[in-house]
């Protein structure tokens, strides 16, 4: 098991890609902190992990609220005594073309997707420095590399978390800490549920592999990057998009 006994916090860990990541990390032997604003969903995920013999803790967190983030870290340290991996997965979308985007839409996405990533990394970094080891992985997107129609706010955040990861890799590498970003393409998660089938079909048509990605495929990428097998990989943004950007 490549993550045996590593303590891993996964924000937004109760749904979608985050949920798949929580399960994958548990399968790989990690002690998983399922951190989500939906505490009931986090508890359900933890119950599922424990039912299979895994070790997990459910924590309610609002990544925008620094006190809430601090409590997440405090609960983790109280139970496990260290933090080896932070997966900054929590995020939202509130799409609109620039001419129609409201300040509320822009600010809310910036707060959760960008400030939230900063808040969580800031809260764990001193612990990782004291340990002399750690991995921080930010959830970006192919939109964070190439932009996208109607996603000014989202693209800004996903570009931003790549910049954060690269900066942290330079700052923290000598302290034994790696920082990376993962850029999923079109992934089959509940976020696609409201979309008309013809829109989904048009998305699939752009993918050389001819299908949507699975949350488990992103989770597997996170697991590899968080493991010691990736010990010489830092400061990069890894696309997991079925070739959609070729």
Cβ-defined contacts of 42-45 (< 8 Å, 24+): 42/13, 42/14, 44/14, 45/13, 45/14, 45/19
Which residues fall within 8 angstroms of residue 70, CB to CB, at 6 or more apart? 123
**Dihedral angle at the C-alpha atoms of 61, 75, 25, 215, nearest 10 degrees?**
0
Is 154 one of the annotated active-site residues of the chain? yes
CA distances 162 to 7, 62, 73, 138, 231, Å, are: 23, 21, 23, 7, 19
Catalytic member of 23, 154, 222, 232:
154
The residues annotated with a catalytic role in the active site are 154
């Amino acid at each position: 098991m490549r993550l045996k006994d590593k303590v891993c916090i996964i924000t937004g860990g109760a749904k979608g890609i985050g949920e798949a990541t929580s399960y994958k990390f548990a399968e790989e032997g990690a002690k998983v902190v399922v951190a989500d604003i939906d505490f009931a969903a986090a508890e359900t995920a933890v119950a599922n992990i424990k039912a299979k013999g895994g070790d997990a803790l459910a924590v309610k967190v609002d990544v925008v609220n620094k006190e809430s983030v601090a409590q997440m870290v405090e609960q983790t340290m109280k139970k496990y005594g260290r933090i080896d991996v932070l997966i900054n997965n929590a995020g939202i979308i509130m799409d609109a073309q620039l001419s129609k985007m409201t300040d509320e839409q822009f600010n809310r996405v910036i707060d959760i997707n960008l400030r939230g990533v900063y808040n969580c990394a800031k809260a764990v970094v001193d612990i990782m420095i004291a340990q002399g080891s750690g991995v921080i992985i930010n959830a970006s997107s192919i939109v964070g590399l190439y932009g996208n129609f109607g996603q000014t706010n989202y693209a800004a955040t996903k570009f931003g978390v790549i910049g954060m990861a690269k900066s942290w890799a330079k700052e923290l590498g000598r302290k034994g800490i790696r920082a990376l970003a993962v850029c999923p393409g079109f992934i089959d998660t509940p976020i696609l549920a409201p979309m008309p089938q013809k829109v989904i079909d048009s998305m699939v048509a752009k993918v050389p592999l001819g299908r949507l990605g699975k949350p488990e495929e992103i989770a597997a990428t996170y697991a590899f990057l968080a493991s010691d097998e990736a010990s010489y990989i830092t400061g990069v943004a890894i696309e997991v998009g079925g070739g959609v950007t070729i």
